[in-house]
Chains A and B, each alone.
Chain A
Amino acid sequence: MYFGLSEEQEFFQDNVKKFLADNASIEEIRKITSGEGQELQSEIYQGIINLGVNALLVPEKYGGLGLSLLHAVAISQALGNGVGPIPFSGSYVMAPLAVNLGGNESQREELLPKIASNEIRFGIGLSEFVGAREDAGLEIKNNKVSGRALFVMDAENSDKIILSTKAGILFLIDSKDKNLTINKLTTVDKTRTFHELILDKVNCEVLEESTKDIEIVKRVIDAGRIILAADTLGASESMIEKAVAYSKERKQFNRTIGSFQAVKHMCAEMAADLEPCYSLVWQAAHSFEVDSVNESRLLACQAKSHLSEIGKSISKKATEVHGGMGFTDLLGLHYWFKRIGLNRQILGAPEIVREEAAEIQGFNQ
């Protein structure tokens, strides 16, 4: 029995962490998020790709590494920890899973090797399946899709985008389709991108298996939620580390502020809140592969909503420990704050996810 990340998973995690520490400092993140660092961003992207993250979840028979969701969780923690300004949860977790689960054999053979070799990049947008805002929603008629999709993940620089109808039918469109309008959304978190898509009779290719089983899109969302929870886990961990380190340096009243109990207790509370979260997220990822759908979906929902709550509280307290400095752009702590804030809302805010968790358990019967 062993409960935790394996050596290999830790190795992946450390590599990503180290790469980001060396190549994506606050100054670099600031450049990228202000739109001036495109070259820099593609270097960081390339560096992470060189570590193999794109091939992670592609099965070996399609040229990938065929690794587990827990590997992806380990990496997602590292990306959250370093506010990695690159696509991951959409392009390299949800998309390969959607193709692998939702595609027929020829679609898998066609697409998965290209993900593994990074010949094609995917964006993915399932927000309307989870809960449509405004008038968003997509309809397929005569193999053409029309409608609007919001908060599509990792669509920037993508070649193809995976979307879903409200009924859970997954399909691909070409990112360059002439009947597609893509608008970049300005969110608080500028370390990752989110887009609005307006489709007017866009050509699409339906992922065939997904027409037979609504579970497929749900599984993809389960995985996405676990990965976002892991991102929040890593980001929260980093915020605690920063708060503790700052509290040991900053002096007021001739004392390091870390010797004030008010400060110490905030840090202890953050640590006490976060420690069980590692266990919950890891168990959710493990469960995704070994347990029944309902068991693992409950864990995925609870990991997503619990981490959203804990992340919110930690991002507030850690900022407070830094005093006025925490509030500045200069320190850049807000990148973590905002990343956690975005993870909370995407693929279902806590209340919405908890309602799903209630339904899974039959509380409505």
Chain B
Amino acid sequence: MDLEFGSEYDEFTKEVESFCKEYSNAIITSSNDKKFEMHDALSGNSNEKSGKIVSRSDWQRLLIEKGYFARSIPKEYGGYGGEPDIIKSRIIATEFSKHKVPNAMGGQGIDMLVPTLLEWGTEEQKQKYIKSTLHGETIWCQGYSEPNAGSDLANLQTKGELIDGKWVINGQKIWTSTAQFSQMMFCLIRTEPEASKHAGISFILIPMDTPGIEIRPLVDMTLKAGFNEVFFDDVTVPEENLVAKRGEGWSVANSVLGHERGSLANPNATMNRLNTLINLMKEETIDGRRLIDVPSYRDRLLQVQGKVMAVQAHSLRLLSSKINPNQNVKLGGMIQKLVGTELRHELEGLAIDIMGELGTLYEDDPNVRDGGSWQFTYMYFLGLIIGGGTNQIQKNIISERGLGMPREPKVTAEV
């Protein structure tokens, strides 16, 4: 066991630390605030807004310039261009979290599309899309799910035909988060109807202002986040919007699903939320008594803290396995989405419970605590328990690929 990163990182840590002190509790503003309304609660950012005020685009630019974001993405694509160094990334994440510095923007473009293009994209595609995505200028949505292709994603039917050097797309996507704010969609389309289920899918990039696209918002239970149905009626995009080869879409999508699952429940964000909850329990009272002094509440808090500490320690073990390739933590990696999303949901739900009736206040009620973020995040994480591969599907994966248990026998056609 050696938790020291080594003295060669001391200088770097100091540098990050001094940046973090400068931007502690910074306020990031955006021209489209609604979109990021609950961003802070989700990513565990501080709610004591008392620091510098920076616009979101300046913030992205500054973080890239410093190498605190997009660190190992080449300069020519708008990144910082540093050597990949997992330890430095870890130091950045830890210091940001410790000093309550807002994180860089995330989202499906940054978390999923950029790694996809780096791995599978052509030079032109990388040039064209990565930089503007990193700077928050191009927002992406992910067009995978369809009404009849959810957990069984490979059953998707949205059709693409190559006609006169152009993809002509017809069909429908659903549950598409952020489609209403997005400039682009990365999409799975059935282009090879003759091929087998998994081999007939291609990965195609679609500008959202292309004629023939209709976006119908679907209100979700939080009434705030919002996903959409997206309809395609002879939507035509250039042939070069295909990523990788025809029929490779399934492999392309799978190669980055891991990124999404890892990012859905970041342990630092969970730790920050726990600390916010502890403060809440010290401030709020019942019959004049602090909530943290109510033994049953306190015990539940401590139980959640045990889980949060376990997940935090676990993230160190996972980090270690990346630095030391001989260390096998395969099963340990597979459980992250399941454990992380359930834990966050439990933590947010505890905050509601300890507030009792006050915990039900929401939206702009004058008495609402923390802007309603506890209810919002509680519900949102139920969404994440379902989204990104439901937690039942996660259990299938853990048991079959992690524990080597037999697959479900195929059922013959249902009547």
A278 touches B292 (CB 8 A): no
Whether, in the assembled complex, B335 has its beta carbon less than 8 Å from a beta carbon of chain A, the answer is yes
Whether, in the assembled complex, B413 has its beta carbon less than 8 Å from a beta carbon of chain A, the answer is no
For the complex formed, measure the closest distance between the CB of A252 and the CB atoms of chain B, giving whole angstroms.
13
Could you tell me the distance between the alpha carbons of A358 and B2 in the complex, rounded to whole angstroms? Answer: 28
Partner among A1, A258, A263, A351 whose Cβ is within 8 Å of the Cβ of B2: A1
For the complex formed, measure the closest distance between the CB of B317 and the CB atoms of chain A, giving whole angstroms.
4
B310 touches A276 (CB 8 A): yes
Residues 289-301 of chain B: 1 if any A CB is under 8 Å from the residue's CB, otherwise 0? 0001101001101
Partner among A1, A255, A272 whose Cβ is within 8 Å of the Cβ of B398: A272
Whether, in the assembled complex, B6 has its beta carbon less than 8 Å from a beta carbon of chain A, the answer is yes
Specify the chain A residue showing the minimal Cβ separation from B339.
A272
Partner among A70, A259, A278, A306 whose Cβ is within 8 Å of the Cβ of B405: A259
Partner among A247, A276, A285, A299 whose Cβ is within 8 Å of the Cβ of B339: A276
Could you tell me the distance between the alpha carbons of A242 and B45 in the complex, rounded to whole angstroms? Answer: 43
A264 touches B399 (CB 8 A): yes
Given the interface pairs A4-B327, A275-B335, the reply to whether A259 lies near B406 with Cβ below 8 Å is: yes
Whether, in the assembled complex, B58 has its beta carbon less than 8 Å from a beta carbon of chain A, the answer is no
Q: Which residues of B contact A117 (CB under 8 A)?
A: none
A264 touches B405 (CB 8 A): yes
Whether, in the assembled complex, A53 has its beta carbon less than 8 Å from a beta carbon of chain B, the answer is no
Residues 222-258 of chain A: 1 if any B CB is under 8 Å from the residue's CB, otherwise 0? 0000000000000000000000100110000001101
Could you tell me the distance between the alpha carbons of A263 and B307 in the complex, rounded to whole angstroms? Answer: 24
A:161-210 near B, CB below 8 Å: none
B403 touches A302 (CB 8 A): no
Partner among A4, A259, A265, A267 whose Cβ is within 8 Å of the Cβ of B392: A265
Q: Which residues of A contact B399 (CB under 8 A)?
A: 258, 264-265, 267-268, 271
Could you tell me the distance between the alpha carbons of A363 and B302 in the complex, rounded to whole angstroms? Answer: 11
Q: Interface residues of A toward B: which range?
A: 35 or more
B392 touches A280 (CB 8 A): no
A3 touches B395 (CB 8 A): no
Whether, in the assembled complex, A339 has its beta carbon less than 8 Å from a beta carbon of chain B, the answer is no
Could you tell me the distance between the alpha carbons of A305 and B398 in the complex, rounded to whole angstroms? Answer: 25
B1 touches A6 (CB 8 A): yes
For the complex formed, measure the closest distance between the CB of A308 and the CB atoms of chain B, giving whole angstroms.
10
Could you tell me the distance between the alpha carbons of A244 and B4 in the complex, rounded to whole angstroms? Answer: 37
B409 touches A255 (CB 8 A): yes
Whether, in the assembled complex, B286 has its beta carbon less than 8 Å from a beta carbon of chain A, the answer is no
Q: Which residues of A contact B34 (CB under 8 A)?
A: none
Partner among B282, B316, B405, B409 whose Cβ is within 8 Å of the Cβ of A283: B316
B6 touches A1 (CB 8 A): yes
Given the interface pairs A3-B319, A286-B1, A306-B306, the reply to whether A271 lies near B87 with Cβ below 8 Å is: no
For the complex formed, measure the closest distance between the CB of B320 and the CB atoms of chain A, giving whole angstroms.
4
B:300-325 near A, CB below 8 Å: 301-303, 305-307, 309-311, 313-314, 316-317, 319-320, 323-324
Most chain A CB inside 10 Å of its own CB: which residue of B319, B323, B402: B402
Residues 379-415 of chain B: 1 if any A CB is under 8 Å from the residue's CB, otherwise 0? 0000000000000101110111011111111000000
A280 touches B313 (CB 8 A): yes
Whether, in the assembled complex, A31 has its beta carbon less than 8 Å from a beta carbon of chain B, the answer is no
Q: Which residues of A contact B309 (CB under 8 A)?
A: 280, 298-299, 302, 306
Could you tell me the distance between the alpha carbons of A3 and B314 in the complex, rounded to whole angstroms? Answer: 9
Q: Which residues of B contact A256 (CB under 8 A)?
A: 406
Q: Which residues of A contact B338 (CB under 8 A)?
A: 268, 272
B406 touches A248 (CB 8 A): yes
Q: Which residues of B contact A271 (CB under 8 A)?
A: 331, 335, 398-399, 402-403
Specify the chain A residue showing the minimal Cβ separation from B316.
A3
For the complex formed, measure the closest distance between the CB of B393 and the CB atoms of chain A, giving whole angstroms.
10
Whether, in the assembled complex, A269 has its beta carbon less than 8 Å from a beta carbon of chain B, the answer is yes
**Using a Cβ cutoff of 8 Å, how many contacts connect chains A and B?**
159
Could you tell me the distance between the alpha carbons of A247 and B317 in the complex, rounded to whole angstroms? Answer: 29
A:331-349 near B, CB below 8 Å: none
Most chain A CB inside 10 Å of its own CB: which residue of B1, B2, B298, B332: B1
For the complex formed, measure the closest distance between the CB of B255 and the CB atoms of chain A, giving whole angstroms.
23
Could you tell me the distance between the alpha carbons of A5 and B314 in the complex, rounded to whole angstroms? Answer: 13
A279 touches B310 (CB 8 A): yes
B1 touches A267 (CB 8 A): no
Partner among A278, A280, A285, A358 whose Cβ is within 8 Å of the Cβ of B298: A358
Whether, in the assembled complex, A364 has its beta carbon less than 8 Å from a beta carbon of chain B, the answer is yes
Q: Which residues of A contact B396 (CB under 8 A)?
A: 261, 264-265, 268
Q: Which residues of B contact A357 (CB under 8 A)?
A: 302, 305
Q: Which residues of B contact A116 (CB under 8 A)?
A: none
A354 touches B303 (CB 8 A): yes
B306 touches A3 (CB 8 A): no
Residues 276-293 of chain A: 1 if any B CB is under 8 Å from the residue's CB, otherwise 0? 111110110110001000
Whether, in the assembled complex, B5 has its beta carbon less than 8 Å from a beta carbon of chain A, the answer is yes
Q: Which residues of A contact B392 (CB under 8 A)?
A: 261, 265
Whether, in the assembled complex, B163 has its beta carbon less than 8 Å from a beta carbon of chain A, the answer is no
Whether, in the assembled complex, B223 has its beta carbon less than 8 Å from a beta carbon of chain A, the answer is no
27 A-B pairs with CB atoms under 8 Å apart are A1-B2, A1-B3, A1-B5, A1-B319, A1-B323, A4-B324, A244-B403, A248-B404, A248-B405, A256-B406, A261-B408, A265-B399, A267-B399, A268-B394, A268-B396, A272-B395, A275-B332, A275-B339, A279-B314, A279-B316, A280-B306, A280-B310, A282-B313, A283-B313, A298-B309, A302-B309, A354-B302
Give chain A's interface residues, CB within 8 Å of chain B. Answer: 1-6, 70, 244, 247-248, 255-256, 258-259, 261, 263-265, 267-269, 271-273, 275-280, 282-283, 285-286, 290, 298-299, 302, 305-306, 309, 351, 354-355, 357-358, 363-364
Pairs of residues from A and B, 8 with the lowest C-beta to C-beta distance, nearest first? A306-B306, A3-B320, A268-B395, A279-B313, A354-B302, A264-B399, A276-B310, A276-B314
